[in-house]
Structures are given as structure tokens and as C-alpha cells.
Structure 1
Amino acid sequence: MTGLCIDDHRVISPRVWRAILVNDKHRNDIYGDNPHGDSASTPAIPAATVVLLRESKTGIETLMLHRTSKVSFGGMWVFPGGRIDPEDHEGTDSELGAAYHAAARETLEETKLSVDPDAFAYFAHWTPPPGTPKRYSTYFFASQLPNETSIEVDGEEIQGHAWMSPSRALKRHAAGEIDLAPPTWVTLYQLSRHAPLSSLMKRLTEQTVRIYETHITTDEDGTRIALWSGDAGYESMDPNAPGSRHRLLMQPGGFTFEHSDLDY
């Protein structure tokens, strides 16, 4: 199938094998046990994140932050960002404008890195289903950084950082070495398909903003599936609906991404 990406399982950690053997859901399935809850009872919290990119001698790298265990999405590797605070609305009358400010502010707080929101490319927006325990409606931006950039993590929310090539991050996730939430994984997948950095930034700047309002369903084998607009089963929640595919299969042993009609 066009647009099929399966996690590389050549090296699998013991904890991934344990998940496979007990037929548990994937360790990074963040969507909870009741993904069809009432959106009125679990309103999404506005948030923003920025994918910071640089061109190294070996290719494109993105800044990944390792969250501490005491905060939301503890232990995950993420892009800089966080919720939109009241102060982020100063000077703007739109939530999108506040999101630009929030992404820059959170980056400064988490990494001591000052970035210019005017240089951000807004390329995606992610909203999880209503029953998700930690439900953030997140604006995704991207920005290019100089090759030599000093990072100093705060030590409170963030315990470490690394510059990783997108493909390397995906391989480490497949091996069970790092944890990535589905929006982060799909973003890294898109980043991994473009080079050099100038071409990637051109793509992210010019593409229509992708809206991911996630639906969750389960196939006959019990595999949980995240569906997005463009998938034949998106509205009906039928994983077997014939037609186009735009989905992430979250098997216990790894993620499989299908996008038959969408160019990533």
C-alpha cells in the first residue's frame, strides 16, 4: 500500500516483548480506555509546540526533550511546548496568535533558547478524542535554527535533550528505547521523508495546515487504531471500510502508519 510505514522491529527491547506477549495496548497509546467520552465533560486544553530543526553534517536533526516523570506525558520525548497561558493572549485577539507566543515562551522556559515566533511555520493541529485523560488541543509549528545552538534544560519539567534525525528517533521508538506520543511519531515520520532542510521547511510552510481530530476504533484482533480525516472509516469508525487509509495502527509491538491518498 502506498504510504505504509511499519516500525523497524529488528531490535526489540524486553519491555516491548512483554507488551506483545500479554497482548496489551501499545505503551504510548495515550488515548485512554474510553476514547468516545463526552467532549463537553473533557474540554481540550489549548496548547502549542514547535519543531526546532537544524542541518547537521549527517542531515536534518530535530530537538527532542525528555520529560520528567512528575509532569504530564512523563518520560516521553517531545518537542518544546506546553499549554497556552493567559499572558500569551497579550497583543493578539486569536487563539492562533496566542499559540505562537506560547510555543516561543515554553521553548525559552524549557531550554533557555530564545526563538522568534515570526519565523514559525504553522503546519498542523492535533486534537485527541473526548475520553483522552490528558486532552490538549495542540498547534504544531516548525522553525529552523543555526547549526550551533546552546540548549540548557530546566531540570524540572525536562530532564534531558538530544538532537536526533527523525529516522533515528523512529528507530529508537521501534526498539523500545524512547517513548513518543502518536502526534510526535507522525510528525517525525513526515520530517523523515524530506531533505535537505530547505526543502522540508518549504514543504511545511506551503502545505495546507493538516487538522488531526482523532477518532479511535479497534479492529477484530483488538488492535487500537487512530483514524483521521481522509480515512474511509473515519466517520463510521469502521476499520474495515473499503477505500482510502489515513490511520495509525497501535499494535503492542509497534506503530504502523497508513496514508494511501495523502502525500507526506
Structure 2
Amino acid sequence: MDATMRVAGTAVVLRDGADGLEVLLLRRPATGSFPGAWVFPGGRVDPDDEREGGGEEGAALRAAVRETREEAGIGIRDLVTLSRWVPPAETPVRFRTWFFLARESGERLRPNPGEIEEAVWMTPARAFERHATGELTLFPPTWVTLHALREHPTVNDAWAAVSAVARYETRMQRLERGMRALWAGDEEHPDEPGAPGARHRLTMSDLPWVYERD
């Protein structure tokens, strides 16, 4: 593990809505980090997070709680570790980011002006519909997380499905048109390849994107 890489925490905040499980998505401004993208609330670990103990994962959890309050104006509860994402080497500013499932606390959303343009509850299916038309910009970790949530009709179902922490060491592959993200187990992953024909990849050439995992 690269001890020099910065660390961040992200909260995948869920609630049960009229049309099924909903997730909190925030739209970033057109400038700054993830310009114009829809993301889960979260941010970098600060020294106060580290001082409270619990190692890197504990510090990231506290950052996720704090940033959700700052960005969306709500408290969250019952956090459970979902995944850890390591960005590709070519990313200009690299954060090793822990994702946590969290339940909302029933408060009204109050997005932080200047930092968040819009905060909405949305079903994963609706997010994919909007992404497929180009209306909504997503980055691969958000896309893959939403993809997994689509199969769960309720928040309790999503919680019951959590087992081992999923670890994603992303490697990018340039295509003739677009890009492809590769993860461990894919036959073309440069560090942890799988067997011939094995798939764990997200192809981002045309909309809708195509996710393949054996």
C-alpha cells in the first residue's frame, strides 16, 4: 500500500423511497474537483480524523460523516465499509478512497452553496437512465457502485448483501474510441490478470457504458 497517497472517505447514503431504494447524489460545480459530475458526498481525511484512532479506515469514515454534513447538510448513521478504490497512476491528484454505506437521518437536504450545485435522492435505475442519455456525468467508482445497488429493492437488502470489502485497483486502457477501466481478475489487468477471457472491466467508449464481471 502506498503510504504517501492521500486518503478520503465517501458516504453512499441510502433511504427507502416510493419507487424503491434511493441514493443521495450531489452535482459538483463546473470547476474544481470532478467538474460537473454527480458524486456521493465525501472528502479528504484531515488531521483531526487521524487523531481519533481506528487507522486509515476509521479516519476515512469520520471524513465521510463530516463531509456529508458539510456538503449536503444532513447527518448519517449505521456506516459499514463497502469498498476501497485506488486511482490509476496517471491521475494528477491521487486519493485512496474508502466507500461506506450509510443510512440517512431524516433531515432535509441543504446543499452547501458554492461547493454543491444540487443534491437529490435518486434511484440507481433513474441515475443510469440519465447517464445513458448524457444528461448526468458519472465517474467509474460512482457508476460501478450504483450498478451494484440496482439489484437491491430496499435499504435493508443492500445492507444484507455487504460482506468482504471490495478492493478496486484501477488501471486504464486507451481504446480507439474512449477508455476502459480494468480491475483485478480481468485478463488484461497488468498487475493482477485473470485467466484468458476473464472479465472485470468498464468500457467507456459509447453511452451507455458496458460493465463486465465474471
Q: TM-score scaled to structure 2, two decimals?
A: 0.91
Which residue of structure 1 aligns with residue 49 of structure 2?
Answer: 88
Which residue of structure 1 aligns with residue 135 of structure 2?
Answer: 177
Supply the distance in 1 between the matched residues of 2:187 and 2:31 (Cα, whole angstroms).
39
Give the aligned CA root-mean-square deviation in angstroms.
2.2
Could you tell me which of 130, 136, 159 is aligned with 2:89? 130
- Number of matched pairs: 213
Shift of 1:82: 0.6
SS at match of 2:187: coil
SS at match of 1:101: helix
Supply the distance in 2 between the matched residues of 1:50 and 1:187 (Cα, whole angstroms).
11
Could you tell me which of 183, 193, 199 is aligned with 1:245? 199
Residues 1:107 and 2:61 are matched in the alignment = no
Could you tell me which of 52, 61, 76 is aligned with 2:22? 61
Distance 1:45 1:95, change over 3 A: same
Which residue of structure 2 aligns with residue 191 of structure 1?
Answer: 149
Distance 1:134 1:170, change over 3 A: farther
Are the aligned partners of 1:71 and 1:157 in contact in 2 as well (CA < 8 Å)? no
Gaps of 5+ in 2: none
Supply the distance in 2 between the matched residues of 1:234 and 1:93 (Cα, whole angstroms).
32
Residues 1:226 and 2:187 are matched in the alignment = no
Return the letter of the residue paired with 1:176: G
Shift of 1:48: 0.8
Q: Percent identity?
A: 39
Shift of 1:255: 1.3
Shift of 1:236: 6.3
Are the aligned partners of 1:216 and 1:237 in contact in 2 as well (CA < 8 Å)? no
SS at match of 2:117: strand
Shift of 1:187: 0.4
More strand by share: 2
Residues 1:215 and 2:176 are matched in the alignment = no
Return the letter of the residue paired with 1:186: V
SS at match of 1:200: helix
Could you tell me which of 201, 208, 211 is aligned with 1:257? 211
Q: Show structure 1 runs of 4+ deviating over 3 A.
A: 236-239
Supply the distance in 1 between the matched residues of 2:203 and 2:31 (Cα, whole angstroms).
28
> Between Structure 1 and Structure 2, whose CA radius of gyration is higher?
1
